[in-house]
Amino acid sequence: MSSLSRFRTLLWLEARRSWVWAVGLIGSLLFWAWGMNQVRFVDPGEQLGVRAVILLVACGIGAMILCLMIGRIRSETRHGQYQVLLLTPPSGYLHTLARFSFAGVVAIVYYIIIGGLAWWAIAQAGLRLDAGSAAQLMLVCPLYGVVLGILPALAWTLLLMVFISSYRISGPGWVPGTVMILATPFLVSWIAEGIWRISYRLPSWRLFAGLRAAIDTAAWEAELEGFEGVFALPQEPLWVMLALSIVVLVVAGRIWQEVEA
Amino acid sequence: MLASLTNVTKRYVRTEGLRDITLEFPAGEVVGVLGLNGSGKSTLLKVLAGLLFPSEGTATVFGGAPRRNRARVVYLGETDALWTWMTPQDALRFMTGLYADFDAARFQELLDNLEVPQRKTKAMSKGERGRLRLAMALARDARLYLLDEPLAGIDLLSREKILTSIVKEWHTDETILLSTHEVAEAEALFERVVFLRQGYLALDKRAEELRSEGRSVVDTFREVLS
């Protein structure tokens, strides 16, 4: 039996056990879209600002729900399903990868839709984006954000939950768990600082190059004064966070092999 | 030797599940693992399944570490651990996708014999769920079966069906370790009985020897563990 076939089965299992979370999360965007539509101001800049805040809240809540979805190992442990999974032939790495992949796909769909909502909010504010800028807003920005923030958060949550579950029965598992939770803010600030130091050494990605030329609304001229129409997105953070996510996943997969149930 | 425990002690945070247990399980035995609540039966089976690691001593299954050889062992835990959304068809998808030794035709046959209904486990009775779990376990073609309390909390008719299936599916090269409180009902199955008391090995004897001494397993259970 190939690993691919087992991976497909584990993905199917993830989809079956988490589809309510996934559909609920993506469905919640209807609520956020409705909320954004309720925001009506005379000033388009103010309106766009409030709508952007709503989208940021949706981004944050989405990240939390995704972490809760991937981290339900404790309840599985209590109900014994984790025991069933631990005894299946696939390695801990494959189990970890399946969980991470499913959550990652849900995250990508969720944040791409948020990108779409951002485009809608911008269009409502009277800004007409060219096709390239619209695609960058709806695809490149969400994917960049997912790789930079969401995937590492998911990988870290998975590691945290597996770590707490390991040695739970014969040892005080709450100690390493508490240490990891307390260490998280320090770790994040340390990584952010490190990334900031090395950013922009490699060529950056230029986004929204056609934006300035595409804007034909006189009302925006004052707002955009001084803006050259280009965002330079550093690529180093992306690679660093991707590499960190992989390392964390490998560690989680390794610990999975040591979990008692 | 299919499985062995050598001076195995398993410590939990405040208690000891097993204390210095040494046992060997050759091929072709049906072994009753018997004892009162908290005697270490589940711990023993979990150590052999690779779900728990010994604090001291060595557990071996097929010549290696139990967790490493988990694909070759069938473990049916005491916890009713199926997902609530799972139907027998989902169980089939799950098992065929993960276990190379799972026989789909045998599973269907077991479902029919055990009269498992085609609905989600959350809509099944405890007995029906127990029978589904047993069908999932017995449809695998393994040589070592660890069955932890498969009869617990299940009605009389279901218990009979489960015991009949265990007898019917057993092959002479396979070893079954069955832990149960229903000693009287399962007595006829056992070729060997292992009694545990407070984590210690209280008695390890062939059922035939007990019978030749004029004692039943139930009598011995009372005698040794009272």
Q: What is the pLDDT of residues B51-68, one digit of tens each?
A: 999 999 999 999 999 999
Write out chain B residues lying below 8 Å of A261, CB-based. Answer: 46, 51-52
Q: Does B77 touch chain A (CB under 8 A)?
A: yes
Write out chain B residues lying below 8 Å of A166, CB-based. Answer: none
What residue segments make up the domains of chain A, in order of their start?
Answer: 3-260
Nearest chain B residue (CA) to A13: B94
| Closest in A88, A171, A172 to B98, CB measured | A88
Average pLDDT score over residue span A229-258: 91
User: Is the pLDDT at B184 greater than 70, yes or no?
Assistant: yes
Contact A9/B98, CB-based, under 8 Å? yes
DSSP code string of B24-48:
EE-SS-EEEEEESTTSSHHHHHHHH
pLDDT of residue A223: 64
| Closest in A12, A83, A169 to B12, CB measured | A169
pLDDT of residue A229: 59
User: For residue B202, what is the DSSP state?
Assistant: E
pLDDT in tens, A84-137: 899 999 999 999 999 999 999 999 999 999 999 999 998 888 888 888 888 999
Question: Chain B, 97-126: which have a CB under 8 Å from a chain A CB?
Answer: 97-100
Structure tokens at A29: 């965007």
Average pLDDT score over residue span A131-152: 92
Lowest pLDDT segment from A66-80, A148-162, A186-200, B89-103: A66-80
User: Is the pLDDT at B163 greater than 80, yes or no?
Assistant: yes
Q: How confident is the model at residue B182 (pLDDT cuts 50, 70, 90)?
A: confident
User: Is the pLDDT at A218 greater than 80, yes or no?
Assistant: no
pLDDT of residue B106: 92
Write out chain B residues lying below 8 Å of A13, CB-based. Answer: 94
Nearest chain B residue (CA) to A3: B98
Q: Does B82 touch chain A (CB under 8 A)?
A: yes
Q: Does A81 touch chain B (CB under 8 A)?
A: yes
Distance CA A67, CA A57 (A): 15
Contact B75/A87, CB-based, under 8 Å? yes
Residue B195 DSSP SS3: strand
| Closest in B11, B50, B98 to A170, CB measured | B11
pLDDT of residue A258: 83
Strand partners, B60: B4
Q: Does B49 touch chain A (CB under 8 A)?
A: yes
pLDDT of residue A172: 63
How many residue pairs from chains A and B have C-beta atoms closer than 8 A? 76
What one-letter code names the amino acid at A59?
Answer: C
Best of B8, B18, B51, B52 to disrupt the A interface (most A CBs within 10 Å) is B51
- b/e per residue, B157-170, with b = 16+ CB within 10 A? ebbebbbebbeebb
Measure A8 CA to nearest chain B CA, in Å: 8
| Closest in A81, A170, A258 to B83, CB measured | A81
Distance CA A190, CA A65 (A): 25
- SS3 track for chain A: CCHHHHHHHHHHHHHHHHHHHHHHHHHHHHHHHHHHHHCCCCCHHHHHHHHHHHHHHHHHHHHHHHHHHHCCHHHHHHHCHHHHHHCCCCCHHHHHHHHHHHHHHHHHHHHHHHHHHHHHHHHHCCCCCCHHHHHHHHHHHHHHHHHHHHHHHHHHHHHHHHHHHCCCCCCCCHHHHHHHHHHHHHHHHHHHHHHHHHCCCCCCEEECCCHHHHCCCHHHCCCCCCCCCCEEECCHHHHHHHHHHHHHHHHHHHHHCCCCC
Q: Does B52 touch chain A (CB under 8 A)?
A: yes
Contact A16/B83, CB-based, under 8 Å? yes
Q: Does B147 touch chain A (CB under 8 A)?
A: no
Distance CA A47, CA A39 (A): 7
Question: Chain A, 190-209: which have a CB under 8 Å from a chain B CB?
Answer: none
Write out chain A residues lying below 8 Å of B79, CB-based. Answer: 79-80, 83
pLDDT in tens, B205-215: 998 898 888 88
ipTM of the complex: 0.87
Contact A260/B75, CB-based, under 8 Å? no
Residue B158 DSSP SS3: helix
